[in-house]
Structure 1
Amino acid sequence: MTVASILLILVALVFLVAGLTGGSGPLLIISIAASLLAAVALVVGARQTASTRATADRTARRRGGPSTPGAAYGTPVVEPEIPVQHVPPTVGGGWRQPPGPPSGSDLRPRPAPGPGTDEVPLDEPDVQQVRPEDEDLVAQLVTPVHVVQGRPRYHLATCSHLLDRLPSRIPAAEAVELGFTPCARCAPITALLADARPS
């Protein structure tokens, strides 16, 4: 492509000189068209060269050799793979991944999952101590609470445990129904019942 663009530039110069000396408009137009074709040929050639070089670099990286001739003098730079975190959408269908099966017992707080079930992460806050009747009241509220996928607690929006996490808002009743338990750090049941009870 580079040779073709050089030939087109020479043709454009010849037509330009001929058009200027003879005062011919059509020759000048042909000169401009040849210049444009030369520019297109240069761009196409540059893109083909870049594509070929990128393909050679990828192939060399897979084989562990130098990616370009200049790279033979040093260790080739290999870019680390960055994992992409998948966050499922919660719009429309709501939260549909409970941390574990809800417990039907009246023991409050519910015990942490045992062997054979999902483990509670080490940095997870404790469960808020509540009376069964208070949790039953919260199970009827539509006030939103915040949950984090793969975590067993529900929180208030101001909970420090939610920092650097991607929480989802769901109604408190749905959180209880899905088996989430209240966070002891932000005490959501205390706040929810204070808001729900008349003063």
Structure 2
Amino acid sequence: MLVASLLLILVAVVLLVVGLTGGSSVLLAASIAASLLAAVALVVGARQAAAARAAAARVDPGPSDQGRPPAGRAPWDAAEPPAGPDVPVQRVPSTIGADDPGWRQPPGSPAAGADPSADGAGEAATPLDEPPPLPVSPADAALVAELDAEVQVVDGRPRYHLSDCPHLYGRGAEPLPVAEAVRLGFTPCSRCAPDDALLADARLL
């Protein structure tokens, strides 16, 4: 339409010059008509161009529209939610790099340096069906912590057991060196008394 309006303007100018030169009122009237048509074509072309630009902007928003939340939404809906009050989060120690594949940290393990023979020291939320820990003197606990004998542990339980402990029935037990079990925070079961049996075997050797 813009090209047509330019051509009509050119025709109107030519008719105007010829009409003024020849004194022809018909050519002057034709020049005025061509001018009006050119104006109409110019307005129509401008509106079409504006509509095309608006359609292109809706399809491909510019950089200034990136990240701007849509109308009717709060600014934080388009990004991260606003920060709230600090809430304590329980952090579970990583099991990557443990010596035994598939090994998991027992719940409520004592902090580093705690006496593993203490009655429930450092343990949290012990299951109700879990036997209490076997009372062991610090000297005996230190001897057990140096043994390579194998004990049985249950994932998520704080005790270590002998392989024939009744508490292991129906539970998926995993073998583990007793020194490793003590280091990870397990405590001896009072039902099967693994420390007594392991120390007795060690004294016979």
Q: TM-score, normalised by structure 2?
A: 0.47
Structure of higher CA gyration radius: 2
